[in-house]
Amino acid sequence: MQSIFARHAHTPLGWVIDVRLTIDRGRIASIEPDTVAQSQDQRVDALVPALANLHSHSFQRAMAGMTETRVSGRDSFWSWRKLMYQFVDNLTPEQYEAIAALVFMELLEAGYASVGEFHYVHHQPGGQPYDALSELSNRVFAAADLTGIGLTHLPVLYSYGGAGQAPLSGGQMRFGNDVGRYSELLSECRDTARAYLPSDTSVGIAPHSLRATAPQDLDAVLSLGADSPVHIHIAEQPQEVTDITAWLGQRPVEWLLNACEVDANWCLIHATHMTENETRDLAQSGAVAGLCPITEANLGDGPFNGAAFIGHGGRFGVGSDSNVRIALTEELRMLEYSQRLRDLSRNVMVPEEGSVGASLYLGAASGGARALGRDAGCLRVGALADLMAFDTADVSLCALRPDQFLDGLCFAADGSVVSDVWSAGRHVVTGGRHAEREKIIARYAAAVAALLSAL
Ligand code: ZN
């Protein structure tokens, strides 16, 4: 049994003070406000539910800063994708694990308790499977185990090179599975997670995108899902919308909502390009919109239709996607600022009235947990103890009242205010640092040097 004493804590009733919270077998066992600390308590300043990072491709962290040079004409998403494929042609399993461990550690230090790893590199260069079909998934599991992050592993079904069942080519050969082999991969991942990982680990299913699958394959793969999370990239780039409309006769979000029973188990990543009707229908489906504002800005994708989505009661969470920059407060800030810049307005991502920081933070806490299938997202007895503590004495927050703390966190502070993180009760960050930090960074640096020398 662990116990925490917080000067302030955000519960479903709002901010309360002098709170003792106990944790038993990874879950919150009690929450008692207006009390006194006991000697064994771990003392923190402000305690909130930790966010789930609902969308990451860990290996892309190693490319950060390498695609920001304009070469000829107007750079685009598709030139970024070219370097990504060069990386993919050379990555080894050891490098994969070292990069994932760095990303998971950085996510924890940024204040996230869990991650949805949208994992699409499965095979050897050229496409030959490893001896174990789940070799690279096992590397993700090892990185999660080392760092203590809560993992929802999302093995990706990637069968085609483009809309209309175009064949895979080049770097894509490492991604490719038909539904039959994908089903075997999923079983191996589920078995491994059950046998070797903490009980809060789960395995979902992830058809990569409509362009990388086909309607009949999507049907078949959904039948493997049971009650697990379903994640899909849906409408990131205008070209993708054009291609899917030409092939399937409807825009991607429109087609998916008509063709599949999209419900609260679903997370639609980059629901960027939507009409007003698609925005309303997605919100009403109960699915979570998986937004990755820093990556979407970096890739020039465009802003999300935020005000309308929130107005229709839509649920959202955030992910770090390409991991070009891992920064929880910046992710939320970018989401709101992208709306303000487009709409020439302020305080957008809040229904009706109230604190935008609270709407962003608590909305992403609830939606992110939902998207990862984690019983978390608020401080409630019985929920997983996914907790983040931050320091309100920091110069960026010290002048604020408790009802302004989340505004300060989202708009004024940086990640250095995060002091502690617990993931399902595992106390993985103390004093802002992960215990294995030096070792993980050294292994990452060696792995990336080896990878770059092979390019
Ligand atoms: Zn993605």
Which residues, listed in sequence order, are joined to residue 47 by a DSSP beta bridge?
9, 389
AA identity, residue 97: E
Lowest mean pLDDT among 55-69, 114-128, 208-222, 363-377: 55-69
* More confident position, 409 or 88: 409
CB 331 within 8 A of CB 294: yes
Token pair recorded at residue 75: 């750079």
Compute, in angstroms, the gap from residue 118 CA to the centroid of ligand 1. 7
Share of the chain above pLDDT 70, in %: 98
Compute, in angstroms, the gap from residue 64 CA to the centroid of ligand 1. 15
| 295-317: average pLDDT | 94
Does the structure show a pLDDT above 80 at 234? Answer: yes
Which residues, listed in sequence order, are joined to residue 166 by a DSSP beta bridge?
162
Q: Please report the pLDDT score of residue 161 as a whole number.
A: 95
Q: What domains lie within the chain, and their CATH numbers?
A: 46-439 (3.20.20.140)
Does the structure show a pLDDT above 70 at 256? Answer: yes
Compute, in angstroms, the gap from residue 290 CA to the centroid of ligand 1. 10
Does the structure show a pLDDT above 80 at 19? Answer: yes
Q: Please report the pLDDT score of residue 73 as a whole number.
A: 66
Compute, in angstroms, the gap from residue 141 CA to the centroid of ligand 1. 19
**Predicted confidence band at 86 (pLDDT cuts at 50, 70, 90)?**
confident
Q: For this structure, is 270 an active site residue? A: yes
Does the structure show a pLDDT above 90 at 292? Answer: yes
- Mean pLDDT for the chain overall: 95
Compute, in angstroms, the gap from residue 148 CA to the centroid of ligand 1. 23
Residue 304: how many other CB atoms lie within 10 Å = 27
Lowest mean pLDDT among 70-79, 174-183, 446-455: 70-79
Residues with CB under 5 A from ligand 1 (ion): 321
| Active-site choice (45, 321, 386, 407) | 321
Compute, in angstroms, the gap from residue 157 CA to the centroid of ligand 1. 13
Token pair recorded at residue 222: 């959904």
Share of the chain above pLDDT 90, in %: 91
Using one digit for the tens of pLDDT, what is the confidence trace for 191-224?
A: 999 999 999 999 999 999 999 999 999 999 999 9
Residues 50 and 292: their CA atoms lie apart, in Å, by: 17
**Predicted confidence band at 76 (pLDDT cuts at 50, 70, 90)?**
low
Lowest mean pLDDT among 39-48, 83-92, 370-379: 83-92
Compute, in angstroms, the gap from residue 414 CA to the centroid of ligand 1. 24
Q: Please report the pLDDT score of residue 401 as a whole number.
A: 97
Let me know if 440 is exposed, middle or buried by CB neighbors in 10 A (0-12, 13-18, 19+): buried
Compute, in angstroms, the gap from residue 269 CA to the centroid of ligand 1. 7
**Inter-axis angle of helices 179-196 and 215-222, to 10 degrees?**
30
Which DSSP string corresponds to 379-433? --TTSB--EEEE-TTSTTTTT--GGGHHHHHHHT--GGGEEEEEETTEEEEETTE
Compute, in angstroms, the gap from residue 182 CA to the centroid of ligand 1. 19
| Active-site choice (10, 57, 123, 270) | 270
Does the structure show a pLDDT above 70 at 75? Answer: no
Does the structure show a pLDDT above 80 at 247? Answer: yes
Q: For this structure, is 321 an active site residue? A: yes
| 216-240: average pLDDT | 93
Compute, in angstroms, the gap from residue 6 CA to the centroid of ligand 1. 36
Compute, in angstroms, the gap from residue 300 CA to the centroid of ligand 1. 14
**Predicted confidence band at 74 (pLDDT cuts at 50, 70, 90)?**
low
Residue 93: how many other CB atoms lie within 10 Å = 16
Compute, in angstroms, the gap from residue 214 CA to the centroid of ligand 1. 19
Compute, in angstroms, the gap from residue 309 CA to the centroid of ligand 1. 21
| 357-361: average pLDDT | 98
**Predicted confidence band at 447 (pLDDT cuts at 50, 70, 90)?**
very high
Using one digit for the tens of pLDDT, what is the confidence trace for 387-431?
A: 999 999 999 999 999 999 999 999 999 999 999 999 999 999 999
Compute, in angstroms, the gap from residue 358 CA to the centroid of ligand 1. 26
Which DSSP string corresponds to 184-253? HHHHHHHHHHHHHS-TT-EE-BEE-BGGGS-HHHHHHHHTT-TTS-EEEEEE-SHHHHHHHHHHHSS-HH
